[in-house]
């Protein structure tokens, strides 16, 4: 048996809990991801927690702040354009 | 967008400014906490970007590079204002609470997330709750969450923007998400959807 397999043979809810973001982001090694999936599928509290975390992450991803910046003043935009044109002239 | 900007394509400047002015303001506002500081950081960052555009090594990493400049501008602002030491978030603070039921089974208290608000008023209220939850995060966690989840940067780009390792990004992101989830978890309870004890 590979060390990585034995290491994660019996994952507890607490061990799962520490890895959930990487699990949701698909950033875990394949074998560990499989172990987590196996545990979560058979554990109602973990399913509930994973779903609530996933929902929370989805809300953050769709977050649209309600405060907009004041529009850039003409003078400020012209200042930025000058800096950009100066870069373009150096190319 | 980076390729168009570097190639000096017509309209590339305005598209970049309009997109990033807003993004940089939002990032800075939630990072600095003051509207006037955020306006200043957004403008200063855009100016630095154009002045240093020839230093951009990889156009594909434009977003990470821009936010790295913004992060440093925010740090400078914070040094000029009252310094608040960073608080660490602990994983154990966010473990779901367990209690022993009358029947001896362990139970876990989890809010019912199946009834998220559908109407505009409640959605707007939820957005305010989310904003407050993000704003309350300690700086080092908030910046990771803003770049990874709100701005959608990859782990590697977030690490580059914040000048930290990818492992640190992952660790801080998880704790930030747990803290935000815990705050949001209180929201459905407030609108009377309650919690469901689940046997384990």
pLDDT tens readout for residues B175-189: 999 999 999 888 766
Q: Are residues B100 and B67 in the same domain?
A: no
For residues B115 and B196, the model is more confident at B115
Q: Are residues B109 and B174 in the same domain?
A: yes
Measure CB to CB from residue B22 to each of A20, A57, A68 and give the nearest one.
A68
Measured in angstroms, the CA of A78 and the nearest CA of chain B are apart by 11
Using a pLDDT cut of 70, give the percent of chain B over it. 76
Mutate to test the interface with A, among B23, B47, B124 (most CBs of A within 10 A): B47
Q: What is the pLDDT of residues B107-160, one digit of tens each?
A: 444 444 445 555 566 667 888 889 999 999 999 999 999 999 999 999 999 999
Measure CB to CB from residue A69 to each of B42, B51, B91 and give the nearest one.
B42
Asked if residue B30 is part of any domain, the answer here is yes
A62 band by pLDDT with thresholds 50, 70 and 90 = confident
pTM of the complete model: 0.84
**Strands of the B106-111 sheet, one edge to the other:** B98-100, B106-111, B195-199
Instruction: Name, in order, each residue with C-beta under 8 angstroms of A62's C-beta and a sequence gap of 6 or more.
Output: none
Strands B195-199 and B98-100: unpaired
Asked if residue B85 is part of any domain, the answer here is no
Chain A residue nearest residue B148, CA to CA: A61
Q: What is the Cα gyration radius of chain A?
A: 24
Q: Are residues B75 and B112 in the same domain?
A: no
Check which CATH number belongs to the domain holding B6 and give it.
1.10.1740.10
How many interchain CB pairs under 8 A, A with B?
Answer: 120
For residues B98 and A39, the model is more confident at A39
For residues B125 and A36, the model is more confident at A36
Give me the pLDDT at residue B103, please. Answer: 47
Which two three-digit tokens encode residue B78? 């914070």
In this predicted complex, what is the ipTM? 0.85
Alpha helices in chain A (DSSP H): 3-7, 13-24, 30-41, 44-61, 74-90
Q: Are residues B106 and B72 in the same domain?
A: no
CB proximity under 8 Å: B 17-56 to A: 17, 21-22, 25-26, 29-30, 35, 38-39, 42-43, 46-47, 50-51, 53-54
Cβ atoms of B178 and B157 closer than 8 Å: no
Give CA A6 to chain center in angstroms. Answer: 28
The CA angle B67-B71-B72, to the nearest 5 degrees, is: 120
Check which CATH number belongs to the domain holding B105 and give it.
1.10.10.10
Query: CB atoms < 10 A from the CB of B127, how many?
Result: 17
**Which residue in the block uniquely carries the two structure tokens 């939630």?**
B30
Q: Are residues B42 and B74 in the same domain?
A: yes
Per-position DSSP letters for B95-114, written without gaps between them: SPPEEE-TTS-EEEEEE-GG
| A80:B47 CB<8 A | yes
**What range does the domain containing B69 cover?**
2-80
Chain A residue nearest residue B135, CA to CA: A65
Q: Are residues B61 and B104 in the same domain?
A: no
Using a pLDDT cut of 90, give the percent of chain A over it. 56
Give me the pLDDT at residue B83, please. Answer: 53
Q: Mean pLDDT over residues A53-64, rounded? A: 89
Q: Mean pLDDT over residues A66-78, rounded? A: 92
Q: Are residues B62 and B110 in the same domain?
A: no
Cβ atoms of B200 and B106 closer than 8 Å: yes
Q: Tell me the domain boundaries of chain A.
A: 1-63
Q: How many structural domains compose chain B?
A: 2
Taken in order B3, B5, B6, B10, the sign of the CA dihedral is positive
Measure CB to CB from residue B111 to each of A52, A57, A91 and give the nearest one.
A52
For chain B, the first-to-last Cα distance in angstroms comes to 50
Q: What does the alpha-carbon distance between residue B75 and residue B77 come to, in Å, rounded to a whole number? A: 5
Q: What does the alpha-carbon distance between residue B97 and residue B40 come to, in Å, rounded to a whole number? A: 43
B91 band by pLDDT with thresholds 50, 70 and 90 = confident
Asked if residue B98 is part of any domain, the answer here is yes
Give me the pLDDT at residue B41, please. Answer: 96
Cβ atoms of A3 and A32 closer than 8 Å: no
Which of A85, A79, A89 is CA-nearest to residue B44? A79
Residue B5: list chain A partners with CB under 8 A.
84
Cβ atoms of B193 and B112 closer than 8 Å: yes
Q: What is the Cα gyration radius of chain B?
A: 20
Q: Mean pLDDT over residues A52-81, rounded? A: 91
Query: CB atoms < 10 A from the CB of A61, how many?
Result: 12
B24 has pLDDT over 50 = yes
For residues B155 and B100, the model is more confident at B155
């Amino acid at each position: 048996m590979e060390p990585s397999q034995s290491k994660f043979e019996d994952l507890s809810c607490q061990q799962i809990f520490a890895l959930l973001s990487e699990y949701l982001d698909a950033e875990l090694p394949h074998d560990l991801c499989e172990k987590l999936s196996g545990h979560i599928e058979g554990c109602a509290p973990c399913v509930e927690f994973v779903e609530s975390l996933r929902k929370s992450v989805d809300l953050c991803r769709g977050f649209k702040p309600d405060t907009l910046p004041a529009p850039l003043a003409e003078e400020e935009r012209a200042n930025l354009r000058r800096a950009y044109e100066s870069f373009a002239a150096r190319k | 967008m980076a390729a168009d900007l570097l190639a000096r394509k017509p309209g590339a400047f305005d598209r970049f400014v309009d997109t990033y002015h807003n993004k940089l303001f939002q990032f800075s506002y939630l990072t600095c906490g003051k509207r006037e500081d955020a306006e200043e950081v957004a403008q200063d960052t855009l100016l630095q970007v154009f002045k240093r555009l020839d230093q951009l090594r990889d156009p594909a990493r434009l977003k990470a590079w821009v936010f790295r400049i913004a992060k440093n501008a925010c740090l400078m602002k914070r040094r000029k204002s009252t310094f608040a030491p960073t608080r660490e978030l602990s994983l154990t603070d966010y473990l779901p609470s367990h209690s022993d039921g009358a029947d001896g089974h362990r139970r876990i208290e989890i809010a019912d997330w199946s009834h998220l608000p559908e109407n505009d008023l409640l959605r707007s209220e939820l957005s305010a709750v989310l904003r407050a939850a993000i704003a309350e995060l300690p700086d080092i966690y908030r910046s990771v969450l803003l770049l990874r989840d709100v701005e959608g940067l990859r782990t590697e780009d977030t690490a580059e923007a914040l000048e930290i390792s990818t492992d640190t990004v992952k660790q801080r992101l998880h704790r930030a998400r747990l803290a935000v989830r815990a705050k949001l978890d209180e929201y459905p309870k407030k609108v009377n959807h309650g919690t469901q004890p689940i046997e384990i």
